[in-house]
């Protein structure tokens, strides 16, 4: 009798917890359901750039509404402009570094270079025998 009670409690617990676990792994916030984005490595820099531009827009709107004088506007906007220049330089540098790197090519007729076995799975990225990558 106690065995069935434990079994049913365990089953009920799994039924209650399973949707939350599946939801967590299925809908992660840091991943897109369509795969990795091409510009994902640039996202923090572009967000920083947009934040700096928004701050400059706020200062400009305060100046246009008459809350700031010309001197205050220039002194407050100067650090944002300097930071924006450094972010732009960093963004160009990262884009240039990525453009230089060649993309890896996948061999069509693939035999493992490490162990010499033929891999029959057409979309396999690794050798099933030794684990060597398919990318050339």
Mean pLDDT along residues 70-88: 91
Q: How many domains does the chain have?
A: 2
96 and 119 in a single domain? The answer is no
The backbone torsions φ and ψ at residue 49, rounded to the nearest 5 degrees and listed phi first, read -65, -45
47 and 76 in a single domain? The answer is yes
Mean pLDDT along residues 6-22: 92
pTM: 0.49
What pLDDT is attached to residue 95?
83
81 and 63 in a single domain? The answer is yes
93 and 127 in a single domain? The answer is no
Question: Could you tell me if residue 129 is inside a domain?
Answer: yes
Question: Could you tell me if residue 1 is inside a domain?
Answer: no
In which domain, by residue range, is 92 found?
40-101
Question: Could you tell me if residue 120 is inside a domain?
Answer: yes
| pLDDT exceeds 50 at position 136 | no
108 and 91 in a single domain? The answer is no
Question: Could you tell me if residue 130 is inside a domain?
Answer: yes
Question: Could you tell me if residue 66 is inside a domain?
Answer: yes
pLDDT-derived band at 115 (thresholds 50, 70, 90) equals: confident
């Amino acid at each position: 009798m106690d065995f069935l009670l434990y079994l049913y409690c365990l089953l009920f617990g799994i039924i209650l917890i399973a949707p939350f676990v599946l939801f967590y792994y299925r809908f992660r916030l840091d991943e897109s359901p369509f795969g990795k984005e091409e510009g994902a490595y640039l996202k923090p820099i572009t967000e920083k750039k947009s934040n700096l531009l928004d701050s400059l827009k706020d200062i400009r709107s305060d100046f246009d509404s008459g809350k700031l004088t010309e001197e205050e506007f220039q002194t407050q906007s100067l650090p944002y402009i300097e930071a924006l220049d450094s972010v732009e330089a960093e963004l160009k540098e990262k884009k240039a570094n990525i453009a230089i790197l060649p993309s890896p090519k996948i061999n069509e007729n693939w035999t493992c270079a490490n162990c010499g076995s033929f891999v029959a799975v057409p979309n396999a990225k690794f050798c099933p025998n030794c684990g060597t990558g398919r990318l050339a």
